[in-house]
Structure 1
Amino acid sequence: MSQQIYINGEYFSRADAKVSVYDHGLLYGDGVFEGMRIYSGKVFRLEEHLIRLFESAAAIALPIGMTIQQLAKDTDECVAKNGLDDGYIRLVVTRGCGPLGLDPYKCSDPQIIIIADKISLYPAEMYENGLELITAATIRNHPAALSSRVKSLNYLNNIMAKMEGLRAGCVEALMLNIKGEVAECTGDNIFIVKNGKLSTPPIDAGILEGITRNAVLELAKQAGIETSEHPMTRHDIFIADECFLTGSAAEVIAAVKLDGRTIGDGKPGPITTKLNEAFRKLVRS
């Protein structure tokens, strides 16, 4: 089956799926998006993703022009048209076409794009053995500049930190906030385990409130694991018993080293493994 890409209610082949070079999503990163996983032919927590998409759009005064219910229906239809049992959805809303210049009120025709495809974020051996991280010099954006809770098309902040990690031989990098506290990684939320307790940075630490992050917190509470959301520093990660990352594309993956310091015993820990198994059961339920 050839790939079918949704643009404003119509379907196009990959070669024919196009938007204007005058779209402000391209010119200025003016737009929002969501990345969602498909498991057994269904989008995982679709409604939660769409609520976050609409909240991101509201925060930047971007009209989507349809209801959450209609967009959910169209997303499910796109998955079915592409015959994907397991895969990934990238849902993008751009500001639309406008003249050169920043004025968003001169734009028209917001573009709603749904791409259904496969994704493999990290090699299989990294899920077995864990990731090594470095701390990026590039920090998260100041919340007064752009809230980290807005999943915007402007990901240059994350990309610059990602480049730092790749240059150091790491596929992921830790990002700090303006206070020097741990925020998140370039594309994933971060958790640590210490003395059997699970911790992750709070929403006001400059993080995106991850859908997978929230699912893992729920699973931990169901398993009787004590959880907390509180500010943390690199020191907390250095002395942690376990560390792992979560994200729609990454799912759940252990981190076993930060800035050359081994975390715990340098292997994915028992709580990480337990939550990973619980998450995999959840997405198939």
Structure 2
Amino acid sequence: MHEHAVCWLNGRLVPTGEARISVFDHGLLYGDGVFEGIRFYNRRPFKLAAHLERFLDSARAIALDLPYSRDDLGAAVTETVAAFAGPDGYLRLVATRGEGALGIDPRNCARPSLFVIADRLSMVARESREQGARLIIAATRRLPPDGLDPRIKSLNYLNHILARIEANQAGADEAILLNAAGRVTEGTADNVFVVRHGRLLTPPPVEGALAGITRETVLELALAAGIPVSESALAPYDLYTADECFLTGTGAELIPVAEVDGRRMAACPGPFYRELARRYEEIVRA
């Protein structure tokens, strides 16, 4: 299943079949840790500085004191990419609280574990991108920022997994989570954009969306293309009545949306999506 994968664990490359984390690791026991997903194209990690910054910010936000500098992390990523068999792939950078006693107190975890995995990522087929994704709005609500800040990319994804299960059971491709006020936050593993009346709109992180790096890239590309763009609160109504809708994420890149809760988009893929996807492809290939 992962015969092409490469793993760097706590300072050295190890065969993935021999990469081991203790059953007492608090990352496993409690989801106590942080991660990043990073793409690499032509052996070059895309937006690496931004990913490492968010990774270190996530660690600081959960008071996880990493024994690695930003340069150390960059070197681990570089070593992992160099050992991978192909020019393009996907990286998962993970830090856990480390091995400790049974019990949630992190003080008895002596040293964090850090690992980097490089693997192939099954690309969304071009036909699927042309047909577009079918979305539902999940009953599962996004955890509120006063409970867990959405900017922390933690190992605990149960909230999103429950929404993803709803999508699976409904036969949909993806689910959108609303916040406690009933406004749109994000998908289970991607940010959401809509086009309404010639404007590109996406929920701000304060609504409960992850401050996605692909999201940020799309905002920059829209500005460069002269597309009017703003962060604004969105309701399900705004998705249902959008001219276009698409998802963005490191793994997903850009994916057009065909329908939300059975309501068809006016265009899929639409002109805004096509222009931004073309520009995105240009920068990742540059």
Which of 14, 32, 35 is the matching residue for 2:34? 32
Residue number in structure 1 paired with 2:50: 48
Q: Which one of the candidate residues 144, 150, 170 is aligned to 2:172?
A: 170
Cα 1:215–1:261 change in 2 (3 A) is: same
Q: Secondary structure at the match of 1:71?
A: helix
| Contact 1:2/1:13 (<8 A) preserved | no
Match of 2:184 in 1: 182
Residue 279 of structure 1 corresponds to 280
8 Å Cα contact 2:175-2:187 kept in structure 1: yes
> 1: CA distance between counterparts of 2:18 and 2:70?
27
CA–CA distance in structure 2, aligned partners of residues 284 and 182 of structure 1: 32
1:4 to 3, 6, 25: 6
| Structure 2 unpaired stretches of 5+ | none
Give unmatched runs, 5+ long, in structure 1.
none
- SS in structure 2 at match of 1:51: helix
Q: 1:198 to 1:101 in 2, by over 3 A?
A: same
1:25-63 Cα distance to aligned partner (Å, 9 max, x none) = 000000000001011111000010010000000110001
Calculate the aligned-residue CA RMSD, in Å. Answer: 1.2
Contact kept, 8 Å, 1:176 with 1:183, in 2: the verdict is yes
Q: CA deviation at 1:121?
A: 5.4
Conserved 8 A contact 2:256-2:269: yes
Alignment of 1:1-285 (within 5 A): 3-120=5-122, 122-265=124-267, 267-285=268-286
Q: Deviations over 1:180-199 (max 9, x none)?
A: 00000000000001122100
Aligned partners of 1:234, 1:53: CA distance in 2, in Å?
31
AA of the residue aligned to 1:69: D
What SS does the aligned partner of 2:117 have?
strand
- Normalising by structure 2, we get a TM-score of 0.97
Deviation (angstroms), 1:2? 6.0
The answer (yes or no) to whether the contact 1:130–1:268 under 8 Å persists in 2 is yes
Q: 3-state DSSP class of the match of 1:15? A: helix
Q: Is the 8 A contact 2:134 2:259 kept in 1?
A: yes
Q: Equivalents in 2 of 1:224, 1:2: separation in Å?
A: 41
In structure 2, what is the Cα distance between the partners aligned to 1:175 and 1:121? 24
In structure 2, what is the Cα distance between the partners aligned to 1:176 and 1:3?
35
- The sequence identity of aligned pairs, in percent, is 47
CA gap 1:29/1:261 in 2 versus in 1, 3 angstroms:
same
Aligned equivalents of 1:146 and 1:271: distance in 2?
33
Q: Give the distance between the partners of 2:96 and 2:12, measured in 1 at CA.
A: 16
CA distance in 1 between counterparts of 2:111 and 2:73 reads: 16
Aligned equivalents of 1:201, 1:164: Cα separation in 2:
22
The 1:27/1:45 distance shift into structure 2, 3 A limit, reads same
CA offset digits 1:75-133 (Å, max 9, x no partner): 01110111331110000000000000000011012011000000125343221110010
1:120-169, Cα deviation, whole Å (9 max, x unpaired): 25343221110010000001002121111100000000000000001111
Write the letter of the residue equivalent to 1:269: G
Residues in 1 aligned to 2:273 and 2:221: alpha-carbon distance in whole angstroms: 12
